[in-house]
Chain A
């Protein structure tokens, strides 16, 4: 496990030096989507609530960063955390609504949020730039590094570092009491509450946390494209995130990264097959995963790993028996 993490870290660190700049740019997107999808893993996988509206939180994050950077000239070290904070606060608000809604009704309420944000962004022109959106300065590496690191590579590193922090935080928090309480509420709320778990606190926490991650992702995407527009954060984005988390794996951190890859690259692969059938490819991929790998790609991979391990064990067992016998005879 530790070895695999180190290997992945090295791979992420070395990739920009061997791949074309455009792919580096795409992989920055993957990390951003992975952060947003990790938010959905927390919300859907751990706490059992659904959101069809995470694109809206990405919009809130994206525009917060854009307005701070373009309008006020505040750097991204400050504007990304503020984007997370604002999206998180709105998320907590929606979390309170979610306490009274469940299943399909919650899905519809969050979908309504996703649908209402782009028109709102178009309307308040003075702040958001309306239909045209906002242009931001593109992110450069700090002065002394500039001759060595291109701005794509610099922001690629920054995004993956943020993703690492987001994943590590989620891992630390979810492995203990908080994760257990969320899963307990999901499995049987009546039992969890009977032992003193506060459902209001944990369920709104999950919503706020998840929305904050989406806000970070939205801010990164605005900064890396140096542009924020209402069309970037459409309802389709919310649905793509949801498809990403289902295909990647609802209950797994690895699933969040695979989901990020799916959201970024699946439309491109689909277009290569045939530009007219992009949504069909999406649909087919989703159906295949739901049928053949209910735990998503991550669930499928871990099942595969387990199957290989089971196959490997009987081979080692006779050997040890032979050793034991030979030891005895010796």
Chain B
């Protein structure tokens, strides 16, 4: 049986330049999977390829149906939420309006139900709903971005560098939260991350990308124990 998300021979190009050279990986339903690697390894590009933001070839099957050839909005409607690098905070919009954007494709009744659910994870959102999102701290903006993604009641969440620019303690909080969402909502999560330590602890499976190719892949615990991975990405 094919995996929940099944990526095969994925190639991504920016103009003339090929950034991802035919990679394959898969994500099981209800799991957390991490794409690791240095800057420019192709992690973000691979995520954006799934969300529909870059020119791509190969096959991406989601829940048994192909995503290739679909526009970004259609992919969103299929239930794939994308949290872009830098959080994609809508600075001048209030917290409430940011969340409303997450429920863009839902009717108002379902949006209200989601709002209740999301506020159960993030009680502080309710208190600060009129605040402009640009005035939140970096960690709060990351939480808001995750909350906004949850608003659309997704089947799969894609997160690009959720730890970017956050203090270590906040990084810990963000990953803990993602694990909680995974556990309690059964959410499938695919994340791209430079912080290999945090990502390996949180994920079940991981792939290491190097210059647009997959160098290694396997259960996160095994990768964390691998000498080469430890030296190159974990630094001990």
Contact = CB atoms under 8 A, between A and B. Distances in A.
Interface of A: 180-181, 183-184, 186-188, 190-198
A190 B90 contact: no
A302 to B, nearest CB: 15
B134 to A, nearest CB: 8
Contacts of A187: 89-93
Interface string B68-89: 0000110011000110100111
Given A180-B101, A197-B101, A191 B90 contact: yes
Contacts, number: 69
Given A194-B88, A196-B104, A184 B93 contact: yes
B97 A195 contact: no
Contacts of B91: 187
Contact of B92 (A183, A191, A192, A196): A183
A193 B88 CA distance: 11
Given A180-B97, A180-B100, A180-B101, A194 B81 contact: yes
B214 interface: no
26 contacts: A180-B100, A180-B101, A181-B101, A183-B92, A187-B91, A187-B92, A191-B82, A191-B88, A191-B89, A191-B90, A191-B145, A191-B148, A192-B88, A193-B76, A194-B51, A194-B72, A194-B76, A194-B82, A195-B76, A195-B152, A196-B73, A196-B76, A196-B104, A196-B152, A197-B101, A198-B73
Contacts of B88: 188, 190-192, 194
B53 interface: yes
Contacts of A181: 101, 104
B102 A180 contact: no
Contact of B104 (A183, A186, A197): A197
Given A180-B97, A183-B92, A187-B91, A196 B84 contact: no
B105 interface: yes
A193 B73 contact: yes
Contacts of A197: 73, 101, 104
Given A184-B101, A195-B102, A196-B104, 8 more contacts: A184-B90, A187-B89, A188-B88, A192-B90, A193-B72, A194-B76, A196-B77, A198-B73
Interface string B149-179: 0001000000000000000000000000000
B104 A195 contact: yes
Given A180-B97, A188-B90, A190-B84, A195 B105 contact: yes
A89 B51 CA distance: 32
B72 A183 contact: no
Interface string B103-126: 011000000000000000000000
Among all A-B residue pairs, the 9 with the closest Cβ atoms:
A191-B88, A194-B82, A187-B90, A188-B88, A196-B76, A196-B105, A195-B104, A196-B73, A190-B84
A194 B84 contact: yes
Query: Secondary structure at chain A's binding surface: helix, strand, loop or mixed?
Result: helix
Contacts of B102: 195
A183 B73 contact: no
Contacts of B92: 183, 186-187
Nearest to B102: A195
Nearest to A201: B73
Most buried by A among B89, B101, B102: B101
A195 B101 CA distance: 7
A126 to B, nearest CB: 45
Nearest to B84: A190
A123 to B, nearest CB: 39
A199 to B, nearest CB: 9
A188 B89 contact: yes
Nearest to B53: A190
Given A183-B93, A184-B101, A191 B84 contact: yes
A184 B97 CA distance: 9
A197 B152 CA distance: 13
B92 to A, nearest CB: 6
B41 to A, nearest CB: 20
B79 to A, nearest CB: 11
A283 B213 CA distance: 55
A188 B84 contact: yes
A193 B148 CA distance: 13
Nearest to A193: B72
A198 B73 CA distance: 7
Contacts of A195: 76, 81, 101-102, 104-105, 148, 152
Nearest to A188: B88
A187 B132 CA distance: 12
A183 B94 CA distance: 11
B101 to A, nearest CB: 5
A299 to B, nearest CB: 13
Nearest to B90: A187
A11 B226 CA distance: 78
A183 B89 CA distance: 11
Contacts of A180: 93, 97, 100-101
A191 to B, nearest CB: 3
A163 B10 CA distance: 54
B4 to A, nearest CB: 19
A47 B35 CA distance: 34
